[in-house]
Amino acid sequence: MRLPVNIFLWTFTATLVPLVLLVWGVTSYSEQRFQKEISREIDENIDSLIGEMSNRMRYEREVVEGIGQSQEIQTMLNALMASSMGIRHPELTSMRINANRFLAGLQRTVPGLGSIRILDAAGNTVIKVTLGRVASPSFDSLGQVNYVEEEFDNERFLQRLAALPSDQISFMTLPLGFGDALPGREPSTLYAVRPLRNVDDRTAGYVVVNTFGEQLDEILSFSPRPRDGKVMIIEHNPGTPARDGMILFDDQREIGFVSPFENGETNGQPDARQIDDGAFWDAAVAQSNGSYLSEDGETRYYYQEYHPYPHSLTSWFVAFRLPADITTAPFRDIRLSLFGFGLLALVMSLLFAGLGARYFSRPIIRLSESLKRFADGDRDRPIPVDSRTTEVHELQASFRYLTEQLASEARRRDRAEKKALQQAKLASIGEMAAGIGHEINNPLNNILTLTRLIERQLPAEQPELREDMSDLRAEAHRASRIVRGVMNFARQLPPEHETVAVAEWLEEVIDRMEPEAMEADVHLALLSATARCEAEFDPGQMEQVVANLVRNAIHASPVGGHILIQAECLEEIIRIEIRDEGGGLPLEVIEQIFDPFFTTKAVDRGTGLGLSISLGIVQYHGGELTLENRRDAGEPEASGVLARVVLPRHKARPRVIRPPEPSQSPKQPTASP
């Protein structure tokens, strides 16, 4: 039976049952969506409120920091130290005048600052400015200093001050002995306390600032109220039970931040723990973000926890109070009307069943044709992924993914075969090079010895012959260096692993390469190297690798060019990257770059073994060495080559099998001019 007929029959049979479920399902789903939309809308509004309050609180913290760092306060540190010991500093009066003038001007400029106190290390008030008014030092003390407020003697409070972190602002309540601009009242927000440190890194005093909350009230009064909700802000202060659950702001009860509780007492003060006998507060504390339906089912609370005080356990709950039926009322009439729409849907579903069947079957037929073409070998034509039906679309996409993976696997297989061929080539050439190097080395020794003897017997009046002998000796030494490179390539020693501090080691290698770079007028730059990174490898062999790569980059760089070296330490590997600004490498050169004796340099500037030896060293460490043009490595605007070395951080098995060592280690030419 064809697909269109099946779809039509199933649609006709299935429409009777969905008709019964449609009314309940659609309305319930829509109601849930509406509830989520309201929740999202309320959450966004709460986020906006929190953001605005955070900006204000951050600004106030910056003001406190600025006060502590101001010149007027910094010059008082010695006087504050003396004050804490009961000694009057000779310049205390002038310092007070300057500080009072500065703080009073600041309060007139920055609205919202309630009172600013400067305490000495013993907690006594040396300066106090409230709402632009300066308090006079009218209180005598047991020492030589008069204080703005009565001399303080509260050992517990002094211990709390001494325990404050010295490099940050802390928030706390002050004892009731500290008076404010509003007589007999305390502010709703906590006091900001910033320790003052002198040049000996000792606490000389404290900056204490409080706000009465006018700015927060202004922010909250002008903020929108979605769905006519009522805003409520509650303090969560587990360390101070008297303030825990205290309502700081409430639209419904007309409570604001400027309506603080009297004398630290919460008697009569609205408390969130009174809502549903504490059920709401328990739910909010247990889950910091969420919603709560009152026990009578008439009110829903949406709330989020906000931490206004950094480094403090004290937080605020920002809550919106809404009538609970705001989400259900719009759906009462909808449920009735959906019954009629459900009947209409039955008729329409039968009408469009045939059209839908054809719509679903067409992409499946096209996919079937594509499968046949692929099986017949036509693999260049892309598989169409154009169906709007999710399941069919995923089926088309899965088949396209299959074809792409097959092609990718073929490319990976080709790369693996090339790498295996390269390793086999290196092994065979290395074995051959060992024997050839041994055979060539002895004649070179003889040539160097004979040139030295001939030079000794040449008469002084024949400078041309002496020059020819000097050239002959130089060529013999060059051949000797080539043989030495061949022997090094043929008999690379296993690495002697040791734990190496990567950053320090790499800096030393770059420092040793600096003279070569300066001679070529090329700049070396170590961009970054992960600090405190250690890895296990042979530092001598890996220095040979890095030095060879940097030297190649120097040779390839133009005058005044830059070579960038970067090291990155990951969990299991270290990665060293070297970038130059040369002309890059053609594709055919990249394919042969690791072949022994292959070089793009002049005859007298390289043997073509440096990269082959470097590759062998890296592979013997269990790592990888790659070279590619920077344009092909994700830097389309850059020129030059990117050399990348990847090593395991811990000793690993070699990635290649070494050729056997030659039976005899040939003696290297030692003749000297």
Return the SS3 of 146: coil
Asked if 668 contacts 487 with a C-beta cutoff of 8 angstroms, the reply is yes
Please determine, for residue 669, whether its predicted confidence score (pLDDT) is greater than 60: no
Looking at the fold, whether 498 and 644 belong to one and the same domain comes out as yes
Looking at the fold, whether 466 and 516 belong to one and the same domain comes out as no
* 55 found inside a domain: no
Looking at the fold, whether 504 and 574 belong to one and the same domain comes out as yes
What local confidence, expressed as pLDDT, does residue 112 receive? 82
Asked if 208 contacts 174 with a C-beta cutoff of 8 angstroms, the reply is yes
Asked if 224 contacts 195 with a C-beta cutoff of 8 angstroms, the reply is no
Looking at the fold, whether 239 and 203 belong to one and the same domain comes out as no
Task: State mean pLDDT over 140-160.
Answer: 83
Residue 148 DSSP symbol: S
Please give the single-letter amino acid code of residue 278. Answer: G
Looking at the fold, whether 297 and 352 belong to one and the same domain comes out as no
pLDDT, greater one: 226 or 9? 226
Structural element, H or E, at residue 206:
strand 203-210
Looking at the fold, whether 557 and 639 belong to one and the same domain comes out as yes
Over residues 447-464, the pLDDT tens digits come to 888 888 887 787 777 788
Over residues 180-220, the pLDDT tens digits come to 645 545 568 899 999 999 888 889 999 999 888 888 999 99
Looking at the fold, whether 469 and 409 belong to one and the same domain comes out as yes
CATH number of the CATH domain containing 146: 3.30.450
Over residues 332-386, the pLDDT tens digits come to 777 677 667 766 766 776 676 667 666 667 777 777 777 787 777 676 666 666 6
| Domain termination residue (choose one: 160, 186, 214) | 214
Asked if 226 contacts 234 with a C-beta cutoff of 8 angstroms, the reply is no
Over residues 38-49, the pLDDT tens digits come to 899 999 999 999
Asked if 171 contacts 309 with a C-beta cutoff of 8 angstroms, the reply is yes
| Domain termination residue (choose one: 343, 375, 407) | 375
Phi, psi dihedral angles at 204 (to 5 degrees): -95, -25
User: In angstroms, rounded to a whole number, what is the distance separating the alpha carbons of residues 153 and 159?
Assistant: 11
β-strand partners of 117: 128, 208
Over residues 77-125, the pLDDT tens digits come to 888 888 888 888 888 889 999 999 999 999 888 888 888 999 988 888 9
Looking at the fold, whether 452 and 541 belong to one and the same domain comes out as no
User: In angstroms, rounded to a whole number, what is the distance separating the alpha carbons of residues 500 and 537?
Assistant: 7
Average pLDDT score over the chain: 81
Please determine, for residue 656, whether its predicted confidence score (pLDDT) is greater than 60: no
Smallest CA-to-CA distance from 649 within 543, 571, 550 is with 571
User: In angstroms, rounded to a whole number, what is the distance separating the alpha carbons of residues 46 and 255?
Assistant: 18
Looking at the fold, whether 411 and 503 belong to one and the same domain comes out as no
Q: Using 50, 70 and 90 to split pLDDT, how confident is the model at 265?
A: very low
* 127 found inside a domain: yes
Please give the single-letter amino acid code of residue 13. Answer: T
CATH number of the CATH domain containing 569: 3.30.565.10
Please give the single-letter amino acid code of residue 61. Answer: R
* 655 found inside a domain: no
User: In angstroms, rounded to a whole number, what is the distance separating the alpha carbons of residues 280 and 292?
Assistant: 7
Looking at the fold, whether 454 and 466 belong to one and the same domain comes out as yes
Token pair, residue 457, equals 């017997």
* 219 found inside a domain: no
**Range of the structural domain that residue 199 is part of:** 70-214
pTM for the model: 0.48
Over residues 485-536, the pLDDT tens digits come to 566 655 566 788 899 999 899 999 999 899 999 999 999 998 877 778 899 9
Helices (H), 270-384: 279-286, 332-375
User: In angstroms, rounded to a whole number, what is the distance separating the alpha carbons of residues 472 and 204?
Assistant: 81
* 523 found inside a domain: yes
* 365 found inside a domain: yes
User: In angstroms, rounded to a whole number, what is the distance separating the alpha carbons of residues 463 and 306?
Assistant: 93
* 397 found inside a domain: yes
User: In angstroms, rounded to a whole number, what is the distance separating the alpha carbons of residues 18 and 9?
Assistant: 15
Pairing relationship of beta strands 203-210 and 230-236 according to DSSP bridges: unpaired
**DSSP letters spanning 566-578:** EEEE-SSEEEEEE
Residue 389 DSSP symbol: S
Asked if 195 contacts 206 with a C-beta cutoff of 8 angstroms, the reply is yes
| Domain termination residue (choose one: 375, 405, 432) | 375
What local confidence, expressed as pLDDT, does residue 434 receive? 62
User: In angstroms, rounded to a whole number, what is the distance separating the alpha carbons of residues 663 and 655?
Assistant: 24
Token pair, residue 375, equals 């099986």
How many domains are contained in the chain? 5
**DSSP letters spanning 375-430:** HTT--SSPPP---SSHHHHHHHHHHHHHHHHHHHHHHHHHHHHHHHHHHHHHHHHH
Please give the single-letter amino acid code of residue 29. Answer: Y
Phi, psi dihedral angles at 165 (to 5 degrees): -60, 140
535-561: burial string, b at 16+ Cβ within 10 Å, e else = bbbbbebbbbbbbbbbbbbbbbbeeeb
* 59 found inside a domain: no
User: In angstroms, rounded to a whole number, what is the distance separating the alpha carbons of residues 55 and 34?
Assistant: 31
Looking at the fold, whether 554 and 596 belong to one and the same domain comes out as yes
Looking at the fold, whether 300 and 337 belong to one and the same domain comes out as no
CA distance from start to end of the chain = 97
Q: Using 50, 70 and 90 to split pLDDT, how confident is the model at 614?
A: confident
User: In angstroms, rounded to a whole number, what is the distance separating the alpha carbons of residues 356 and 339?
Assistant: 24
User: Out of 90-104, 147-161, 538-552, 582-596, which region has the weakest mean confidence (pLDDT)?
Assistant: 582-596
